[in-house]
Amino acid sequence: MTKRNSSIVLSNKERAPELGHRMDPHQQFRSKFTQQPGRLLCNHCGAIGFHKRWYVDVAESENLKRTGTAQAVLCPGCTRIDEGIHEGEVILESLLLASDKDALMGLIKHTEGKCWHDNPFARIASIAEEGGRMEIRTTTRWLATRIGKELHKAFKGELEIKPIPREKFVRVYWSQQSPAIGKKESMTGRKGVT
């Protein structure tokens, strides 16, 4: 803490609690997982932790469950979901939410699955839908950005990615006004060709 002209100036670290921020929200479970020896198995999603690294291997996960040789814990991705720590938000506004919701949700879940195999921390925490608007909260900024880019690639529309300055958070906006521009056009390059 420093004093300037008889007023107290606090550093960002000292001001964090009064602003409602934690400087490193992940520190509390980083130490929890790095201290434990042996193999760790997430009892919720099946991710495996070994030597401070988390990875996904379905066959090994089933083997560890069957033999009981791993310690059952919650992985950092599941812990982030339980504690409400979100680093990304995807906001979708489109007529596709009413007309072709299955294709839209299929693409979102497929993108999450690919990202989850690369990084078990990358998960969708919640999905809220209201009318022609859907809000998706993610545990990592990278997953939110990737979902937005995949939607833009498949269904066109407008994409805006806004990282929040000085925060570990990104807000991704995707909107599409015309349902005629969609997957068929993006796959063939021409409208109306099936």
Neighbours of 116 (CB within 10 A): 18
At 184, the pLDDT band (50, 70, 90 cuts) reads: very low
Q: Provide the pLDDT for residue 170.
A: 95
> Which SS3 state, helix, strand or coil, does residue 28 take?
helix
Structure tokens at 59: 């066959």
Asked if residue 132 has pLDDT above 50, the reply is yes
> Where exactly are the structural domains of the chain?
2-81, 85-188
Count CA atoms closer than 13 A to 122's CA, side-chain side: 21
Q: Provide the pLDDT for residue 152.
A: 94
Instruction: Let me know how many helices (H) and strands (E) the chain has, helices first.
Output: 8, 11
Q: Model pTM?
A: 0.72
